[in-house]
Amino acid sequence: MWPLLKNVKHLIRSIAKQSNSNKQAGKKTNEEFENYPVTDNLSKRIDIIKEVMGNSIDVVIREIVIGNESNTRAAAVYIDGLVSNDMVHGHILRPLLFEAQSIQTDKKLSPKKVFKTILEKRLTAGEIMVKEKNSELFAHLVTGDTVVLIDGHPSFIVVCTRSWEARGVEEPENESTVRGPREGFTETLKVNLSQVRRRIKTPHLRFDSLYIGSLTQTTVIIAYINNLVNPELVKEVRERLQRIDTDSILSSGYLEDFIQDNPYSPFPQLRFTERPDIIAAGLLEGRIAVMVDNTPFAFIVPSAFFEQLQAADDYYSGPWFGAILLRILRVIAFNIALLFPAFYVAITTYHQELIPTPLMISIAGAREGVPFPAMVEAFVMESTFELLREAGLRLPSAIGTAVSIVGALVLGDAAIRAGIVSPAMVIVVATTAIASFALPGFAAALTLRILRFPLILLGGVLGLFGVMFGLLVILIHLSSLRSFGVPYMSPLVPLMPRDLKDIFGRAPQWAMSKRPRYLRTQEPVRQADNLKPDPYNKKRK
């Protein structure tokens, strides 16, 4: 017994030691640069840069001589392709090579005075910093800044010269609108921040930056309005992001797995979008947006379940009661996409008495000769359609659309003619697919695609009792979920009648004078009361 306990103890220690070593591995990249001594010798610094960066052809080290008398040596180091060549040539090299000739009239002018004169009087760039650590040197270098080194001085100058080829601002293909703005986020973080800043012109808008990933050093922005958002929410978001210790973050989707409340839930607990107007609307409600460099997708937290059924057109297109119709249609589409195949399998297998006799005779006649039970038939058709949808997404757009349409028509018709599936099942699967396409969010539609199969299995084994059991499990799970401390089914569970104005429908703008209560914002009032149009009441002030 004692040897067994000793082995278990040794195993626990090994796991803890491995965990600590993994935790330290994420910080190794920044710490290894500190092993190089900080020196004021220009030649040694250039040798360190060459040793760390290797023989990369995009690393440019431009050595120059400043002054006519004492000939102080300097160097400008940058990575070609990440910098603006016009800025490097016009605001750094030109002042150092030509204008700085006049600063060395005295042979005894120290490197410290040369450094100060260049910093304060010669460099004409807008954003300039003074740094000293080697880790800071390489961190700025790989992000597109230019580093200016002066021989004999331990500090160095960092000039912001970031500029690279980027995709232009375009309309998001997956979130198009009829009357809304056509702008979408790009892979360039500066462009994305400017689009949000243009929509919210308040000095209280904050963009806090973090660098996540020991190898990628990806810039992550936490955006919020300081006088609206709950300070505890900002603290929680920042802590969840800061605890991430990994070597790479390439997209906002990487962060989702690290920061969501329940990582095993199939339901999306963050709201992803490519639209800056949706991000601005979320910030104005008192939420927080997280934007990641090199990806056009940002996400909003906290996010409730019913927000997955909202679209930008609800607020831009037509009168406010038109949005009520659209929301109701999406709720119906949600239920069809989730439950229709399972209900069909359960009723045709166990509960034929619930179907009207003429319809039951028609379905039975269509199913005559089909060799498989309804459950197997539904699994085959749903799996085939998922294959077609995935193939259409991975192929080029012109070919993918044709493959999806032609494949569905040809396979459906051939399966009916061969007697493998019934026409009624093809109608059910097609209706389910159309309903899933009506949902505005890809994440919500993907969740329904995942849950559809276990519900079909329950309907085929236990009938409607199995479908209801599965539905109750889903509802219990939804009621227990939270998104950054906010109940996922808010404002329905717990019930907040005031916030129901923007759930199953949309009340007119003049009626929504308060921000959602479940966000616990610092300023719950967003506009004045009594803003309902009343042109005939001339006495109203």
* Alpha carbon distance 137, 115 (integer Å): 17
User: Could you report how far apart the first and last alpha carbons of the chain are, in Å?
Assistant: 87
pLDDT digits (tens, 9 = 90+) for 299-321: 999 999 998 888 888 888 767 77
Instruction: For residues 127-145, give the mean pLDDT.
Output: 85
Q: What is the mean pLDDT of the chain?
A: 83
Give this prediction's pTM: 0.82
Query: Residue 454: its pLDDT value, please?
Result: 94
* Alpha carbon distance 406, 411 (integer Å): 8
Q: In the numeric block, which tokens belong to residue 353?
A: 């008495």
- Which of residues 401 and 394 earns the better pLDDT score? 394
CB under 8 A, 24+ apart: contacts of 370-374: 370/419, 370/420, 370/421, 370/422, 371/419, 371/420, 372/420, 372/421, 373/349, 373/460, 374/344, 374/345, 374/348, 374/349, 374/425, 374/460
Q: Is the pLDDT of residue 165 over 80?
A: no
Q: Is the pLDDT of residue 2 over 60?
A: no
Q: How many CB atoms lie within 10 A of CB 31?
A: 11
Query: Residue 24: its pLDDT value, please?
Result: 42
* Alpha carbon distance 101, 65 (integer Å): 9
pLDDT digits (tens, 9 = 90+) for 236-252: 999 999 999 988 898 88
Q: In the numeric block, which tokens belong to residue 59?
A: 């690393």
Cβ-contact 381, 421 below 8 angstroms: yes
* Alpha carbon distance 342, 452 (integer Å): 7
Q: Is the pLDDT of residue 235 over 80?
A: yes
Q: Is the pLDDT of residue 101 over 80?
A: no
Query: Residue 26: its pLDDT value, please?
Result: 42
Query: Residue 6: its pLDDT value, please?
Result: 47
Query: Residue 480: its pLDDT value, please?
Result: 92
Query: Residue 475: its pLDDT value, please?
Result: 94
DSSP class of residue 365? H
- The single-letter code of the amino acid at 360 is M
**Residues 6 or more apart from 166 whose CB is under 8 A from it?**
186, 187, 188, 191
Query: Residue 20: its pLDDT value, please?
Result: 44
- Which of residues 3 and 287 earns the better pLDDT score? 287
Query: Residue 32: its pLDDT value, please?
Result: 58
Query: Residue 289: its pLDDT value, please?
Result: 95
Q: How many CB atoms lie within 10 A of CB 535?
A: 6
Query: Residue 279: its pLDDT value, please?
Result: 94
Query: Residue 197: its pLDDT value, please?
Result: 93
Instruction: For residues 72-84, give the mean pLDDT.
Output: 88
Cβ-contact 42, 151 below 8 angstroms: yes
- Which of residues 62 and 15 earns the better pLDDT score? 62
Q: Is the pLDDT of residue 107 over 60?
A: no
**234 pLDDT tier (thresholds 50, 70, 90):** very high
Query: Residue 273: its pLDDT value, please?
Result: 92
Cβ-contact 327, 339 below 8 angstroms: no
Cβ-contact 293, 247 below 8 angstroms: no
Query: Residue 14: its pLDDT value, please?
Result: 46
pLDDT digits (tens, 9 = 90+) for 166-216: 788 888 888 888 888 888 999 888 899 999 999 999 999 999 999 998 888
**465 pLDDT tier (thresholds 50, 70, 90):** very high
Query: Residue 45: its pLDDT value, please?
Result: 87
* Burial class for 102, CB neighbours closer than 10 Å (0-12, 13-18, 19+): exposed
Q: In the numeric block, which tokens belong to residue 215?
A: 């190898």
> C-alpha distances in angstroms, 466 versus 71, 199, 267, 348, 432?
86, 49, 21, 14, 20
Q: Is the pLDDT of residue 103 over 60?
A: no
Q: Is 72 helix (H, G, I), strand (E, B) or coil?
A: strand
**23 pLDDT tier (thresholds 50, 70, 90):** very low
Q: Is the pLDDT of residue 72 over 70?
A: yes
pLDDT digits (tens, 9 = 90+) for 327-384: 889 999 999 999 999 999 999 888 888 888 888 888 888 777 788 888 998 998 888 8
- The single-letter code of the amino acid at 269 is Q
